[in-house]
Structure formats: C-alpha cells, structure tokens
Structure 1
Amino acid sequence: MRKRKKSKLLLVGGSVTLLTVVALSGWALGRSSRKANQEVPASQSIKTSITTIPQTEVPASQVPITTPKTTPPSTIAENPSETPTPNGMQLEQLMNGDFSSIEGVWVDGYGQTLTFGPTGLIDGRGSVQSLKATSWGTARGYLVTDDIGGAVLEFLPAGTVFPDHVYPGESEEEIRITDASDHQKERIWLAHDFSQIGDNVNFFYRQN
C-alpha cells in the first residue's frame, strides 16, 4: 500500500516537474524573442520589396506613326514673260545678226552718227560683216560701204578695255597707245588705224 502511494507521488511530482520545465522554456523563448526583436537595427527590420512591372508588347499595327512636317520648296514661276531681259550690249546676239540690244543712235566726238535697228545699220552707211569675238571681251568686224570701201568696227560693252597698241616710232623707239575711251560706258569704235584708240573722239556712244 505504501509503495503505490509512493509511486503515485513520484508520478505526480515528475509531471509537475515536466510542466514546470516546459513553462520555463516557453517563457525563456518568448523573452529571448522579444529581446531579439528589440535589438534588431531599424535598418534591418524593414525590407523593401521591388515589384517588376511586366512589359507588354504593342502590335506593330497599333504603333502610331509620326510623319515629320516638311516645308515644301518654294516654286518659281517659269513664265517666259517674267524672265528678265538682259540689259546692255549683247555680243552673242550681235554676232548672230541680232542688233536689238544696240538699237538707236550712236554719236562720236565729231558728231557723226551710226543708227541701228534690229537687223543692223538703218542709216544707209553700209552693213556690218564678219563679227567675231576678241580675247579682251569685245566683238570686231567690218563696216562695208559701196562708196568708200570698209573700216574696222568694234563693239565694246561697258567695262571692257582695248589692249595697248605698240608700234615703232621714227627714232626706233616704241610708241604705246592706250584706250582713251570711257570704260564705264558701251562704245562702238570705227577707224582705219588702231593707233586711233588713243583719242576718245573716235568712239561712238549711245545717244540718250
């Protein structure tokens, strides 16, 4: 009888001891957990989650197409009537028999005149023949008449200059003749000797 009571007491005591150990262990673990939570740095207690946004592909047919704005090139009217007409003496036309660019009356220093129409001289003084371009930018030909033969005729646009003419003098010295005309104006030179370029009276100027 005493042995049973003793066994029961041992069993009850062991149970109490086991419960006590479990309770103490749970209290210790809870305390440790709370302490650990209190000692964790704030920088490590917050974790930032990064959410990746999935990329969606847009069908090519739905992609808007932007057309760059361009300024259309300016258009120039190609109306022949609006094409500017060249002014002044036109050598190419003269050599082709068109004298419209020098129409009118031309007068030299002696008062002699040359009158041109669209096709040439219209004053009865003869005809202009064999016009050819020179290397100094003029056109040279001949004025041919029935009564006095012919003379050298040269057309000089504004800005052109006769080259100097050099010929030997009586004492074997060279004589140089320079163009004495007004280079800023259109001129017509008519003479028999190139030494005459040294005198402005031998040049014809357009009469205003």
Structure 2
Amino acid sequence: ESGQGWIALDFTTRVDGSKSASSSKKSSGMNIQEIQNGDFSSIAGTWRNGLGWVLEFDKDGLTGKGFVTDGSGVVDRINPDHGYISGGIHSSKPNTAGGAAISFLPAGTPMKPDSNENSDPSDTSKDRIWVGQQYIWDTDSFFYRVD
C-alpha cells in the first residue's frame, strides 16, 4: 500500500545517481527519419573511410571540415532507398561543378548490390556512410564514425 516493496539484491546492479539510465541516456545510432528531415544530430561528429577521407557533421549537415573543406558542402535530395536513405552531396556555390551520391546506412542494414552485383562489403554491425560517383564500391569506400 505504501508503494514500497523489496527486491532480491542477487538480481540487481547498483547504479549511482537518481535518474534511470534510460531517461538520462540520449538515444544513439543513425536516425534516418531525422536525417531525411534535415536534422543530422544522430550522425554529428567525425566519420572516416579506409582511404583516409573525412566527413564531419553537426546538427545542420556538413561542417566544412574534412572531405568538403570550403564550407560549401550540402547534402540534399535525400530519399528512402532499400531500408536506408540516399541523396546527393555537392557544393552550394553557384556555377560549381561536381558532386557525388551519398547513402546513410544504419547498423544492421546492408546496402543493395552495386552495379557489378557485388554485395555490401562493409561492417553492417555499425552505422556507415557511403559516398561515391559510381555505384561500385569496396571496403574502403565506407565511412565509419570515429568520434
């Protein structure tokens, strides 16, 4: 009646603090719905691929550090694509040529086979980002979070 009860300590782990772990811990992992809506918070930080290229994101998108260093990098035209999302990465500066495709792959979601029918060679247990100009890849093509 008092709302108090008892538990067997053999089945518990002591946690310091008054807040529960679930209420104080921010959800982690890539959120493709948020990214598609222009909120890049779930992937904020530094990402590196096997070639040493770096992408850096904040909540608004690319920061201008790393792979796109002039601050003009834009990610847009993001659409669902086989359980993940894909779009374009290009410069926001007028009359600037160039660009690439970009795919955001949450952990557990493989990328569809490439144009040579090769299956996804990345570590699908982790969140990944793929950037390229041709729909062909190898293990070094995928970016993984480094911070």
Report the TM-score when normalising by structure 1. Answer: 0.52
Residues 1:193 and 2:134 are matched in the alignment: yes
In proportion to residue count, which structure has more helix? Answer: 1
Question: Match of 1:152?
Answer: 101
| Alpha-carbon RMSD | 2.1
Question: Match of 1:164?
Answer: 113
Report the TM-score when normalising by structure 2. Answer: 0.73
Question: Match of 1:141?
Answer: 87
Question: Match of 2:48?
Answer: 107
Residues 1:119 and 2:65 are matched in the alignment: no
Question: Match of 2:27?
Answer: 86
Q: Which runs of 4+ in 1 moved over 2 A?
A: 81-86
Question: Match of 1:26?
Answer: none
1:86 Cα offset (Å)? 2.6
| Alignment partners' CA distance in 2, 1:106 and 1:158 | 15
| Alignment partners' CA distance in 2, 1:158 and 1:90 | 10
The residue type equivalent to 2:108 in the other structure is: G
Question: Match of 2:19?
Answer: none
1:176 Cα offset (Å)? 2.6
| Alignment partners' CA distance in 2, 1:191 and 1:144 | 12
| Alignment partners' CA distance in 1, 2:53 and 2:126 | 18
**Percent identity (aligned):** 37
Residues 1:180 and 2:121 are matched in the alignment: yes
Structure scoring higher RCO (CA < 8 A, sep ≥ 6) equals 2
Whichever of the two has the greater Rg, that structure is: 1
1:85 Cα offset (Å)? 3.6
**Which of 97, 102, 113 is residue 38 of structure 2 equivalent to?**
97
**Partner secondary structure for residue 141 of structure 1:** strand
For this pair of structures, how many residues does the alignment match?
Answer: 119
**Partner secondary structure for residue 144 of structure 2:** strand
